[in-house]
Amino acid sequence: MVPAGAISGSSPFGLRGRRAVVTGAGTGIGRAIALGFASAGADLVLLSERDNLGEVAGLARDHGSAVRCVRLDLADAALRRDTIEQLLDDHPVDILVNNAGQIRRESAERFSDRDWYDVIEVNLHAAFDLARATGRRMVERGHGKIINIASLLSFQGGLYVPSYAASKHALAGLTRALANEWAGRGVNVNAIAPGYVATRTTSELRADPTRNEEILARIPAGRWAEPEDIVGAAVFLASAASDYVHGHVLAVDGGWLSR
C-alpha cells in the first residue's frame, strides 16, 4: 500500500497502489465514485446490499483494477460488524467511502418508528461501524482516507425527511469528531455533501413537476447533478492532494447553499 502522503505517478491525484472500499457501489454516486477511483488507478472492494455489482466491477477491471464484490446488508448490525472485520483483515484498505444510505419520506407527524430507526441504522450507525473498524487499522499504519457522503441536509432541515436530515447532520458531526482524533495520526476524515443528484433516490422528486421546478429554480447551475459530478471531489479527498484537509464537509451542489 502507498502511504497517504506519497504521490502516485506524476500526479498528486493518482490512486495507483491504493485499495478503496466503497459502500452502495452498485448504482448512483457510489458507482460513479468507484469507477472514478478505478480510472485513477485504485483497486476496489465494492459493497452493496443487492446483487448489482457485476457491471461496475467489470468496468473497473477494464481500467486494470483488482476488484472484490461483497453483498452485505448494512442494516444488519451483527452481520455487518463481523463481515467488516473479516473483510479488513483480508484486504487492508487505504480509502473508505461511506456512501450507502436510505431515505424515507413522510410528514413528521405521521413518520413511523420503523422509518426513523431504519434510516439512522444505515446512514449513521453503519457508517460509524465502518469508520471505526477501518480507522483503527489506518491509525495503526499511520495513513488513510475516510470520506463520508453527507448531504445538503447536513446543513438544512429539508421537507418530509426527518430521519434523513438527522442522520446527515450527525454524519457531518461524526466527520469532524473523527478528524479531531485522527488528523495528527495520519488519517484524513472528510465528507462530501452532494446537492440534488439525478439518482434512483431522487426519482420521486424529479417526477413531481412542481417540486422539480422548485428545486431547479434554487440551483444557480440550473440543473440537477449527475453522479459523475461528485467524482472529482471524491478523488481529491482520496488522494495525496488533500493531505492537509481534515474535518471538511465539501458541498458539491451547483451553488445551492450560496442562494
Identify whether 196 is a catalytic site residue: no
Digit-coded pLDDT (tens) for 6-47: 444 468 999 999 999 999 999 999 999 999 999 999 999 999
Digit-coded pLDDT (tens) for 80-136: 999 999 999 999 999 999 999 999 999 999 999 999 999 999 999 999 999 999 999
CA distance 229 to 30: 12
What are the φ/ψ torsions at residue 27 (nearest 5 degrees)?
-145, 170
Mean pLDDT, rounded, for 36-62: 98
**pTM, rounded to two decimals:** 0.94
The superfamily CATH assigns to domain 19-258 is NAD(P)-binding Rossmann-like Domain (3.40.50.720)
List Cα–Cα distances, 209 to 101, 203, 215, 220, in angstroms.
25, 11, 10, 19
Rg (CA), the chain: 17
Digit-coded pLDDT (tens) for 162-215: 999 999 999 999 999 999 999 999 999 999 999 999 998 899 899 999 999 999
The C-alpha torsion from 89 through 90 and 92 to 97, rounded to 10°, is -90
CA distance 130 to 85: 9
Residue 258 burial (CB < 10 Å; 0-12/13-18/19+)? exposed
Domain boundaries along the sequence of the chain: 19-258
Task: Out of 117, 160, 164, 196, pick the active-site residue.
Answer: 164
